[in-house]
Structure 1
Amino acid sequence: MDIPLVVGVDGSDSSLEAVDWAVDEAERHGLQLRLVHGSLWERYEGTRPSLATDRPAERILAEHIAASAAERAQRRNPDVKVSSDVLAADPTTALLREGHEAFALVTGSRGRGMLGETLLGSVSLTVAARAVCPVIIVRGEDPARRDGLPVVLGVGERSVTSAAVRFAVAEAEVRNCPLHVVRAWRTPAHEAVEHLLPTGDAPAPTPEQRATDQMDAALRGVGPVRDGAVVRRITAEGPAHKVLADASAEASLLVIGAPRSHGHVGLQLGRVAHALLHHAACPVAVVPQRG
């Protein structure tokens, strides 16, 4: 059975934007769309009289949220196969469990009651930091209307694993858009003078050259992209989170890797990824990487 694209829904405007984006993503990849709502309404059933015939309000609300999201998805694209479910778990637990058999998890950037454009809901943050599959946080202005803009892959000081690179390449290919591989670099204060001093050895590579070498290394071994694909390598001086946030302003999707250590149970999200999930101008895909 094909694994689905899974979307967490909670009735908020942000989650409905995520549904719209995920419908288009499912169509691009030929995937089924699964909408899930985590609810613990069962906890309240035991407090009601045993002879009551009416259903708990919490259950009605949970079912309405899931059904409304499914109806919205079908209206957006009737050709995408959509299913919905209410899961007896808190939203974070429900999504993390679904991630074990998902192409990717999709969430909005803010939950119900969240204020402010830059705030990230705790569910989205925790899922992005713990999931075993890629997680896409749908954020930014008109996230579902960025067709034609490049996919941006952020390459950091740690080597980006082939999983993140392959994900970015595949996303660029299904969108028929360029892939921009971006690496930020900075010159440490001690290097600014030392690398200019004459020595008998060949000059050490500059920070910018090291950044270029890291990009080349990240792209090696992934295999060729489609004929005619545009892959642009970009180096920029400055803090990584700012360089990538600036790049996201003209991107359809920003792809970043996130470390996953075996046996570690806490949040596993680097500082740059954390900042981008709060401030990027486009949807952000967090791809787990081991090592």
Structure 2
Amino acid sequence: MRARAAGLALGFAADRMFGDPARFHPVAGFGLMARDVERQVYRNHRTMGLAYTSVLVGGVATAGLLAERVVAGRPVMRTLLTAATTWTALGGRSLSQEATYVRAWLDADNLPEARQQLTHLVGRDPSNLDQQEISRAVVESVAENTSDAVVAPLLAGAVGGVAGIAAYRAANTLDAMVGHRSPRYREFGWASARLDDVLNLVPARVSALLAAVLAPVVGGRPEAALRTWTRDARRHPSPNAGPVEAAFAGALGVQLGGTNVYGERVEHRPTLGDGPVALPTDIDRSVRLADAVGLGALAVSVVVALKRRR
């Protein structure tokens, strides 16, 4: 398991140094394949959606298992395989960069460009958002995606190795593609959405706990983050985004939540936290907290990997 732990650490370092692979990204390739399969098998009911999710996620997990068997008994190769898989699954550096780009446009008083840049982070309609609403959207995205794109893949790797990372990333990608509540995907994407919910139950709460413990990094108080998490998380429509966003709100001392527009659909979400609305300066603070949470998750994942016997 030392090879697994070392691979996770190397993959994390690669993500922080290089970001996403510039070309031939495996996750992008999986997304293209999933889209092609969807065109062939799409039916507007849950049974076909379940088969679609099972085959794609199961196929990726099987490929990961086979790859680990090929390098069994060769610790260096297993370390490198784990590192490469971890690197392609993580999105911490890209998340931080996108948030920083939005902040730069806000500093330049260029709302049109800030709104356009925001589309790289969130699915909501940014066309009428002001500076504060853009800042809130960025902080919410940084919180949620730190759990989805950093903490969860690391924990999946610690428990399941290469197969675990690959299966988690496949499920998370399918959720982003077909797991939303549009008329087309309400039934077909149900299985993908529920699988992603299940796989993120533990990582989301680990993320929230780390955000609370590490609140002093951004001048916050752990007790305030814990109080906001336990009080407000259930208000969020997502069982996993709720704890993370509430813990970040408490740690940063800001208020998140409110009205979000997704095309023709409008969501009025309850607020999380007691502080003032988020400002552009809170984007930088959220990135610092997210980076700290990522390091904390790496430490936890390495310990978990080393404690496992096989």
Whose helix fraction is larger, Structure 1's or Structure 2's?
2
**Fold match by TM threshold 0.5:** no
TM-score (norm. length: structure 1):
0.26
Higher strand share: 1
The structure that has the greater radius of gyration is 1
| TM-score (norm: length of structure 2) | 0.25
